[in-house]
Amino acid sequence: MARPVIAIVGRPNVGKSTIFNRIIGDRLAIVEDKPGITRDRIYGTGEWIGRTFSVIDTGGIEIDGDDKMLVSIRAQAELAIEEADVIIFMADAKAGVTNADEEVAQLLFRSGKPIVLAVNKVDNLQRMDDIYEFYGLGFGEPVALSGSHGTGIGDLLDAAVHKLPVTEDEEYEADIIKVALIGRPNVGKSSLINAILGEERVIVSPVAGTTRDAIDTPFEKDGQRYVLIDTAGMRKRGKVYESTEKYSVMRAMKAIERADVVLVVINGEEGIIEQDKHIAGYAHENGKAAIFVVNKWDIVEKDDKTMQRFTTTIRDHFLFMSYAPIVYLSAKTKQRLTKLFPVINHVAEQHSRRVPTHVLNDVISDAVAMTPPPTDKGKRLRINYVTQVAVKPPTLLIFVNEPELMHFSYERYLENKIRAVFEFEGTPLRLFARRKSDQE
C-alpha cells in the first residue's frame, strides 16, 4: 500500500524546509550526488516509531501567476489538504500570530484533516512564553520547535504519527504485476489505459488534469494478471492547480510506491521537459522497474532518424535511468501497442531476479582483475565477498576492507559489469559497501 502522507504548511520563512530536512534526514543525500537527478525536492520519506511515511514540503511549491503572499500560501495549503493524511501547520514564535497564519488556520480547520500545530524558532527558554498566543488558532497545544537546534522534532513526530491512519495490507496477490502510469498532465495516461483495456474505463479528455481519483483496474492478458494504476489528477479546478506542475509529482508518489513496474509516459509531440525528470526520478529512487513510453508517436513528424534522435534525447536527459527500455506507441491509434506488454513482463522478471552468490562473485572477481580499484591516499579498496540480499530492486552487499574507499565511479563500473553479464534491464540496482567484519 502507499505510504501515508504528512504535509508541512505555513507562510514563508517559518522554517518549513529546515524541519522537512530534519524529518527525512539523509535519505535523499545519496542519490543526489548521481548525475542527472534533479535536486529540487518537495517530497521525501521519513520514519518514526516503526511507521514509514511520505513528507511534503509545501515551501518547495512555486505558484505561478498572482504572487500575492496570501494567495500563494492559500494555494499551498489547499494542495496539502488534497494530498495529506496529517498536516503540520508551522508558525514562527518570533513573529507571533500573523494574518497569514489566521488565513491558513481557517482553511485547515474547515478541511477536517488532522492538524498538528508546530511553533518554530523556540530557540531558548525565554521563547517558550511566546507560544501561548498560538492556542488562539484553535488547534490545541502547540509543539515547540527549534529547527536550527533540532529540539522538539521527536515531540512533533510523536504527535503527527499518532494521527496517521492505520494502513491495511496489500490486497493483491504476489504474482500480479502492478503497473503504474505516471507523467505530467496531458501526456495521455488515461488514453493509454483505455487502449490497453479496449474500453472506456477512465475519463479521457484533452484537458489536463481530468482524472479525479486513483483508479486500479485489474485485468488479465495472455495468462498473466495485472493491475493498472492510473495516477490521480486534480480534483479541484483553477489556475493555481493547472499552473503548479510539481503537483503531478505529489500525485504520482502514491501510485509509484504501490507499483512493481512504472510506465513513465512522455508526450512525443511536446518532447521532454524538466517536470518529466522530477517524476521519473521518484520512480528511480523508490527502486521500481521502469519503462519510458513515448506516446502520441502517430502525430510526430518523422524521418528515418527521428526515433534515434528521440532516444538519444531521452538518454541524455535521464542519465540516471539508462537501464530503462523505451517503447514508442500511440494510444489513440494503438500503433505499436502490442510491443508494450512483452517489455512490461520482461522488466518485471528482471526486477525480481536473483543471481546465485557463487556466480555473482565470479563476475566481480573478473571485473576487479580487469580493472583493479584505484588507490586513495595510499590505500586500496579490497573486495572480499558479494551477495544479493533482496529483489525488487535487486540489492547487492559488497563486503570490503574499507567502505569509504568505494568511490562512486568504481561502484558504477561494477554495476556496468554486472549488467553486461546479467542484463537486469528495466530495473535499478542497489549496491552497498559493508566492512568485512559486518558480514555476519
pLDDT tens-place string over residues 336-368? 999 999 999 999 999 999 999 999 999 999 999
67 annotated ligand-binding residue: no
21 annotated ligand-binding residue: no
114 annotated ligand-binding residue: no
185 annotated ligand-binding residue: yes
CA distance 21 to 33: 17
16 annotated ligand-binding residue: yes
* 33, 267, 360, 388 from 357: Cα distances, Å: 29, 42, 5, 7
Average pLDDT over residues 93-99: 92
pLDDT tens-place string over residues 289-343? 999 999 999 999 989 999 999 999 999 999 999 999 999 999 999 999 999 999 9
Q: Is 143 helix (H, G, I), strand (E, B) or coil?
A: strand
CA distance 221 to 177: 11
CATH class assigned to 177-351: alpha beta
11 annotated ligand-binding residue: yes
User: What fold is seen in the domain 5-162?
Assistant: Rossmann fold (3.40.50)
pLDDT tens-place string over residues 47-80? 999 898 988 888 655 554 455 666 766 776 777 7
Q: Domain extents for the chain?
A: 5-162, 177-351, 357-438
Q: Is there a common fold for 5-162 and 177-351? A: yes
130 annotated ligand-binding residue: no
186 annotated ligand-binding residue: yes
CATH class assigned to 357-438: alpha beta
268 annotated ligand-binding residue: no
243 annotated ligand-binding residue: no
190 annotated ligand-binding residue: yes
* 84, 206, 247, 322 from 280: Cα distances, Å: 22, 23, 14, 12
Average pLDDT over residues 112-123: 94
